[in-house]
Structure 1
Amino acid sequence: MVVGDLLWHATGKEIRIFAPTLEGETQLQVLIRPLVQDSAGEVTSGTLMRTHPTRAFFGHIDGKVSIYNTKDFSCLAVLSISGYKINSLTGVGDYIWAGFNNGKISVYDISQTPWTIKKEWQAHENPVVKIVSDPSSCYRIDRLQVISLGADNVIRVWDGLLQEDWQEDEMKAQEAQYCDFEDIKALVMTWNAGASTPHSLRYANQDATFIRNLLQSSDSPDILIFGFQELVDLEDKTATAKRFFKSKKKEGSDQERMSHQYRDWRDFLMKSLDDHMPRHDLYHLLHTATLVGLFTCIFVKSSLRDRIRNLSASEVKRGMGGLHGNKGAIVVRFLVDDTSMCFINCHLAAGQSQANSRHNDIAAILETPLLPAERDPNKRIDSYTGGGDGTLILDHELCVLNGDLNYRIDTMSRDTVVMAVKQNNLAKLLERDQLLVARRRNPGFRLRAFEELPIKFAPTYKYDVGTDDYDTSEKRRSPAWCDRLLYRGRGRIKQLDYVRHEVRVSDHRPVTGRFRFTVKRIDPRDRAVAWMDCQVRFEDLRAREDNNEKMAYLMHVIGYDTATAKSLAKPRRDRSPSRTRA
């Protein structure tokens, strides 16, 4: 990589800097020792940035980026930006584009530390081999092109200005000018019910009032989301295997039995709402969805029902290599007025040592296109986020993810964990919680996109059924916070509480959260005015970028001074005196 008059050359983990001579004689090595960062892997790529002329950026095989001062050669920082190998880096305006070994391209805003991901997408089916920016395209063909080459031998051309994303950000920043906002209340419950039924709940003396007390203390929410896991017995591995290999005829009868269990819970919840919510609050069943033990049941107030549209649901199977639904997720999305909402009910891979499998489950759930796409570009900008079209979970403005995520407490014996719980020393245990550790240490962990209220309750798993004792069976499983609620709303979601409930008919305790969602209604006329202003600002941005690239070429490639470069960079109509014909 050429930096000014010097050649920066990387091999392995070492970066050497040379000052080539005009005569081509032996090159002079500027530094006695090469630049090496022990905390980073082999160097794979490098780039310079017009907006940071005194910095050189190098990508590494372990997903890290090292940053050097090009004047004194000091290392300014080593940042971990991904868990994947960086194959290529290029500077585009104010951002760095990175191409990874998994075929993805990520665009980073480097104005603050840690860097933030501006946009990320699957660019190629195979690893990204190279990304190249074409600055001259700004003034040659009136667009800033970025070209990527994949190991699939496909070349793709991308919009370097990220016009749709820029317009989305600008419009969202101006929403107060064309939107009316309203807060609505929601209650979300997650519970691994351990194949329990409404009948077993009703006739367990200590548990019979759980749903009633939950509803009566819920402050009459506008939306209720009940997310169950294991409404059928998944602990019986023989039965699960038989269910997978059954003939179609037997499978039908099995489905009927499972459907009966789902209907029992649906009917029980409907009756509970009728019996225990205020008389003036009428609730409608909006949607139910099932997947081998997973059950999502959503109710909304009658006053909200007519404001809901674009309801869709889907599922992701993660059991047995993605073939079976004993593990996976149910996804339900809809719009309230002009705000998109997505609710994800998960059951991830079990086992103390299976944290990576759980990470992979979450990645598959969040990265799989599941839902119908919004074709209208204006509606995409108004109701979705990140330049998305609604096919992905993270395209939605408000997301709540619940479930038996199965994350465990690492490197502690069962007895140590139980003793810490009895002493209410939860902080000690939370330091080892696999989900929280991954959020802190793993830059590629997909749940980093979500927030979670601080946990102030004891681990919700695993209990001896019918007791308050953690597992005393032969396996003696260690307690863990398997049952979680996470949310993502960019300031439009506020979680009001995070509570576990003492229900003993299952080996898990239910967890609930009350939320406040901010939804918007768009005024079409005011939006049209804001959109025109946005278009004007984008053309100004395009013109500035055009001028900046011209100046960079004229000064740093051709060698003109600033005044000459400014004169030549002006549009031709601005440089030529006006003439009139006689």
Structure 2
Amino acid sequence: MTTSVIADLCIFLLTWNVGTHSPKNLELISLLSLNGTTNCPDNKLPDIYVIGMQEVSTSQVLNVFKDDPWVLKLADALTPHDYVKVKSEQLQGILITMFAQHKHLPHMKDIESEETRTGLGGLWGNKGAVSIRLSLYGTGTVFVCSHLAAHDDKLKERIEDYHQIVDNHKYHLAGYRHIFDHDFVFWMGDLNFRLSGETSGWDIRNTVELREYDELLKLDQLTLLRQTGNAFSLLEEMVPNFAPTFKFKEGTNEYDLKRRPAWCDRILHRVQVNSYPSITLSANQLSYQSNMDYTLSDHKPVSATFNYKIEANNGTFTDEELHEMTHGGASTIPSVSVHGFVALMVFHGFFICFFRFF
């Protein structure tokens, strides 16, 4: 049996609750693994970056003619390495943005974004999710960034937020109307899940200092929910092998025990492996880590890298042929260049943003 590779990409995902801080003079080289320390095969730079942020300052929300300062800062770091911004979407303080190496742009189609508000009954959008979906080398792929209800006693609300996002996130492309219709799903964010039980913050910190993460993860709400099927059960997660990423005293690596430490910041994924005859899809996770060097907010940034791979068995497919197989004639999202897309949406973006505000 002969096997041909349609796509073999390294995708870098990052989630960070920045606590309304601006990037200012923050150096992002280490955060984005641009310093020669990537986890991609052969230590190459990622093909695609998808960055999700929470509690971004909303001062730029109504300015449709200018990207958020965080997007501009990311662009400053990535553009010299031949990355182009593909798409950004912001719902109040929740932001997702995608950058790709220029050579991959012809293999990205049907690019679309969506949002779901959950906080305060959905009236303001301080909690919820934003997403970017696209045909990536012929497969339906979606990236979701969410910020769920906070505090130890709001588990029920977090579960409700998740289901509201899954139910209300709807795209325009036939066959890919919902998040879990997609062949690849990547979900990240400040999911705000805490540790069940009454273990004190002091005891949690002491256990963390002993690096006995397994004992604490037995109490992790997200892990328990996935096991019971109440939320996130369709997704997989590599076991975190890093300290809880919340809550730190800003500017330090010292826990602020006003809140019990917890793994609030997570990255999960799902692949429908054998959806198509003679096509094999995979997303092998290469890393999952926090970055303790960044002390801007009370959360630590969390990143993951994936080897996104599409293989054809018993034949040779181009990604155009795979796109026809997966998306067929159902495509309704215009395929325009990234630069043209920005210009096309400026006028419409004014009205979209106006109605979101009211």
* TM-score with structure 1 setting the length: 0.49
* Structure 1 residues 169-568: aligned runs within 5 Å: 181-199=6-24, 201-202=26-27, 209-211=29-31, 213-214=33-34, 216-218=36-38, 219-232=44-57, 255-256=61-62, 262-275=67-80, 277=81, 282-374=82-174, 389-411=175-197, 412-440=199-227, 442-443=228-229, 445-472=230-257, 476-491=258-273, 492-502=282-292, 503-519=294-310, 521=318
Taking structure 1 as reference, are residues 284 and 410 closer, same or farther at Cα in structure 2, changes over 3 Å only?
Answer: same
Residues 189-210 of structure 1 show CA distances to partners (whole Å, capped at 9, x for unaligned) of 00001112221524xxxxx653
Q: Which amino acid aligns with 1:468?
A: N
- Any idea what the Cα deviations from partners look like across 1:447-506, whole Å, max 9, x if unmatched? 11000001110000000001111114xxx1000000000000134111100010011011
Cα distance in 2, alignment partners of residues 284 and 523 from structure 1 = 22
Greater relative contact order (CA < 8 Å, ≥ 6 in sequence): 2
Separation in 1 of the partners of 2:163 and 2:264?
Answer: 18
Residue 447 of structure 1 aligns to a residue whose secondary structure is coil
**Alpha-carbon offset, residue 369 of structure 1:** 4.5
Distance 1:213-1:335 versus aligned 2 partners, 3 A rule:
closer
One-letter identity of the residue aligned with 2:72: D
Q: CA deviation at 1:416?
A: 1.1
CA contact (8 A) 1:196 1:231 kept: yes
Name the SS for the 1:390 alignment partner: coil
Whole-Å separation in 2 of the counterparts to 1:452 and 1:344: 15
CA drift at 1:324: 2.0
CA distance in 2, matches of 1:295, 1:209: 20
* Contact 2:29/2:77, CA 8 A, preserved across alignment: no
Gaps of 5+ in 1: 1-175, 203-207, 234-252, 375-388, 529-582
- Distance in 1 (alpha carbons) for counterparts of 2:136 and 2:25: 36
How far off its partner does 1:213 sit?
A: 4.3
- Cα separation, 1, equivalents of 2:260 and 2:7: 44
Tell me, in whole angstroms, the C-alpha distance in 1 between the residues paired with 2:305 and 2:296. 23
In structure 2, the residue matched to 1:539 is none
Q: How many residues align?
A: 303
Q: Deviation of residue 373 (structure 1)?
A: 2.8
C-alpha RMSD over aligned residues: 2.5
- Structure 2 counterpart SS, 1:199: coil
| 3-state SS of paired residue (1:306) | helix
Please, what TM-score do these two structures have when normalized by structure 2?
A: 0.78
CA distance in 2, matches of 1:498, 1:328: 24
Residue 287 of structure 1 deviates from its aligned partner by: 0.4
Cα deviation, residue 522, structure 1? 5.7
208-217 or 224-233: bigger deviation: 208-217
Which one is further off, 459-468 or 411-420? Answer: 411-420
Structure 2 residue ranges without an equivalent (≥5): 39-43, 274-281, 312-317, 326-358
What letter is aligned with 2:45?
S
Aligned-partner SS, 1:477: coil
Give the drift of 1:271. 1.4
- Cα distance in structure 1, aligned partners of 2:225 and 2:108: 36
